[in-house]
Amino acid sequence: MDKMLGKKRYIAIFVLPALLLFLCFVVAPLFVTGIYSLFEYDGIGTMKFLGMDNYIELFTKDRYFPKALINSFVLAGASIFIQLPLSLLLAIVLARGVKGEKFFRTVYFVPVVISSMVIGQLWMKIFNSQYGLINIFIRFFGDKNYEFSWLSTPSTAFISTVIPAVWQYIGYHMLIFYAGIKSISTDYYEAARIDGASKTQVSLKITLPLLAPVIKTCLLFSLTGSFRAFDLIYVMTGGGPNHASEVPGTLMYNSLFRRGLYGYGSAEAFFIVIECLLFSFVIRKIFKKSEENASAI
């Protein structure tokens, strides 16, 4: 009994620093944000209690918030249906042992380690109306005088930010999928080859079911990353033109640091947190049975 208590004491000592950091830098700010969201506050003067009025205004009176919310769902959809399938496909191909496997694995991961600010500046140059690569390409194969402003046109501004946002993290999810595939026992694949299964059948019947926990993790990262997107969009468009490319993160930044609406901005920030937690809970419920089946194999 004394030995068991001693082990628990040592475990508590090692866990305590991380726990304190988590409480100080995650739980406490989240709690303060939730409190501020119930008040009218400019960061300097007195706080006026409003209750749920900030949240009611967010959903009923703020003309930019619905568009920002739709944009975040569009980004989430692009991440789920474009980014993750491409990442999974690349991971499956690389895991089969193609020539130059390590080289391609490194190259695909390079955009992940580059700052989003740098990525944003890079793609701003690509979408530039005068010397941008896209317009140059169109001029070369089509209209010699073609000049279109992708980032300052409301109909194309947000899509122009979605493309680099999806591209940047393909390598990130690919590496997670790749590690998951490599951790699957080769006995399953050898048995499938003996039974005459094709590569497609092996991927669908063995790889994907056993990757359920990894797919769930990537889905969580992808969704929450889309809902709290800010830096890349802010660098490329600043939420414009005319608020066409706003997402909840850019609205929150403008409310807090440009308009001085600490209470209202905190309500927007707290909504993002609740949204991420809600969808995380739903995804965990959806994948619960798949994970149990994978662990039972």
Confidence (pLDDT) at 156: 92
Confidence (pLDDT) at 14: 84
User: In Å, how far from its chain's centre is CA 12?
Assistant: 33
Round the CA-based radius of gyration of the chain to a whole number and report it: 24
Nearest to 69, CA basis, from 251, 233, 238: 251
* C-alpha to C-alpha distance for 152 and 245, rounded to whole angstroms: 10
Confidence (pLDDT) at 296: 55
* C-alpha to C-alpha distance for 116 and 229, rounded to whole angstroms: 11
SS3 at position 259:
coil
Predicted structure pTM score: 0.90
Confidence (pLDDT) at 189: 82
Confidence (pLDDT) at 231: 92
User: In Å, how far from its chain's centre is CA 176?
Assistant: 14
Confidence (pLDDT) at 102: 86
What's 64-296's CATH class? Answer: mainly alpha
Amino acid at 236: M
- State how far the alpha carbon of 104 is from the alpha carbons of 127, 183, 184, 240, in Å: 26, 19, 21, 36
Tokens of 269: 């920030």
Q: What is the mean pLDDT of each run of 10 residues along the chain (297 residues)?
A: 63 87 91 92 85 91 93 95 94 85 89 92 90 87 81 92 94 93 85 82 84 92 93 92 93 90 92 93 84 59
Tokens of 144: 């010699």
What stretches of the chain show up as alpha helix (H) in DSSP?
Answer: 2-22, 28-36, 53-60, 65-78, 84-95, 101-113, 116-126, 133-141, 154-168, 170-182, 186-194, 199-202, 208-210, 212-227, 231-236, 248-253, 262-296
Question: For the chain, what are the domain ranges?
Answer: 64-296
Query: Are 192 and 103 contacting, i.e. CB atoms less than 8 angstroms apart?
Result: no
Confidence (pLDDT) at 295: 57
* C-alpha to C-alpha distance for 96 and 260, rounded to whole angstroms: 54
Tokens of 225: 């990353």
Nearest to 38, CA basis, from 64, 61, 66, 57: 57
